[in-house]
Amino acid sequence: MKGRVEVIVGAQWGDEGKGRVVDAMANTMDVVVRFQGGANAGHTVIVEGEKYIFHLLPSGMLYSGKTCVIGNGVVIDPQQLLEELGDLQERGKDRARLVISGAAHVVMPYHKVLDGMEERLRGFGKKIGTTRRGIGPCYMDKVNRCGIRVEDLLCEDALREKLSFNLEVKNMYLTRIYGEAPMAFGEIFDQARTWGEKLGPYVGDASLTVFEALVKGSNVLFEGAQGTLLDLDHGTYPFVTSSSPVAGGACVGAGLGPSLVGRVTGVVKAYCTRVGEGPFPTEHKGDLGDALRERGCEFGATTGRPRRCGWLDLVALKYAVRVNGIHALALTKLDVLSGFESIPVCVSYRSDEGEDLPFRGNSPFLDSVEPVFRNMDGWKRDLGEYRSFDDLPLAAREYIRFIEEWTGVPVVLVGVGPGRDQTIVRGL
């Protein structure tokens, strides 16, 4: 194959700053692909002082001449997607070609309602804290083989048949289990037909688009959403999302053979955050956690929720390196740690019996372990102006080296501020 494939994944619980890493790599890439998740994601990119938040569009949409692909593994909320496209058009930034897989599933209005209802039913202590974007219920229909796919929006008969069946079942849930009013067929059908008309010109064969690009010698970047620890199989189950954000998900979610994947880059924040419920061994619930949240502006791009904050967890990171086959790490938001006297880093999980244990994607297990921290020296200087690794304060360099030694993976990019240029590149 003449072109190369790069896969970018989140190595924590999402919100690692993948958008800015994609952005930094985008100039050497021709095709940018999203392969899983939906509008639960929120990728923030700041370009020429302007802020863009994409929930569904690949970050590559800001570049002229690129092809952006939404693969079959994504669940698409058409209303959201059309709003993002409309916003780019208004700002004169709709410069890329967009291809949407006909096999991607559609998040229907009832999925969003059911997402909220299921959370309500789970009740206190059992809630997942979903984004309520209908992600879980949409993937449920996909797995149950009754979902509505983007290609169905283009065919009135198929849409009518599938929607009637789905709505009949969903209305039983809504009325008999949740005691809610049923949803009307006509309104949803008309809305879905309009979506089909508007999205029709973008619908194509995503897998073939990627393959042909590679044959021609184009480079393809797969942009993961969420993160490894939210993976349905490998994350902190059941407090996970419903898709596969790990690198293997890129193959399934876009129709790409695993032998074609070149490099896998894991994006890791210099500390940890998590939105929603679930285990978080290195969480700091006191003033230091608050300081991380304030300094790092840790509020959800999709829901605005304050993110839970804590220290870097190298046990979890090692796990992410393993399950993704990560070749390189991109370390983001290192600047946020400036000013801390010392910086704790979790180097092991200790059991009640004093045994060191590896990470396991199991919620009760993670709640039971005791994180063991190593205190790294802090640094005082603001890192925003630094552009070379060798110039960084010694303690910051040692922090990076410690991560490399611990994981056995090189850190090829360091983020030192929110701006596009506030990046130290060490071999991307």
Beta strands in 351-410 (DSSP E): 356-357, 370-377
Residue 254, token pair as written in the block: 């876009």
Amino acid identity for residue 130 in this structure: T
Q: Which of 347, 352, 376, 355 is nearest to 281 (CA)?
A: 347
Residue 214 touches ligand IMP, criterion: CB under 6 A: no
For the CA atoms of 18, 19, 21, 26, the dihedral, rounded to the nearest 10 degrees, stands at 140
Interactions with ligand IMP, residue window 244-303 (CB under 6 A): 275-276
Minimal distance in Å, beta carbon 145 to ligand IMP?
20
Catalytic residue (one of 15, 115, 231, 335): 15
Residue 131 touches ligand IMP, criterion: CB under 6 A: yes
Nearer Cβ to ligand IMP (42/281): 42
Residue 40 touches ligand IMP, criterion: CB under 6 A: yes
Give the residue closest to ligand IMP by C-beta.
Answer: 276
Member of 12, 72, 130, 324 binding ligand IMP (CB under 6 A): 130
Member of 6, 15, 94, 298 binding ligand IMP (CB under 6 A): 15
Name the H helices within 218-354. Answer: 248-252, 287-296, 314-324
Amino acid identity for residue 20 in this structure: R
Minimal distance in Å, beta carbon 4 to ligand IMP?
27
Nearer Cβ to ligand IMP (36/67): 36
Catalytic residue (one of 23, 43, 77, 115): 43
Residue 76 touches ligand IMP, criterion: CB under 6 A: no
CB 68 within 8 A of CB 58: yes
Whether 205 sits among the annotated catalytic residues: the reply is no
Residue 133 touches ligand IMP, criterion: CB under 6 A: yes
For the CA atoms of 13, 108, 22, 308, the dihedral, rounded to the nearest 10 degrees, stands at -20
CB 343 within 8 A of CB 376: yes
DSSP 258: G
Identify the bridge partners of residue 376 per DSSP, sorted by sequence position.
Answer: 343
Minimal distance in Å, beta carbon 294 to ligand IMP?
19
- Which residues contact ligand IMP by CB under 6 A? 13-15, 40-42, 128-131, 133, 135-136, 225-226, 230, 239, 241-242, 275-276
For the annotated catalytic residues, the residue numbers are 15, 43
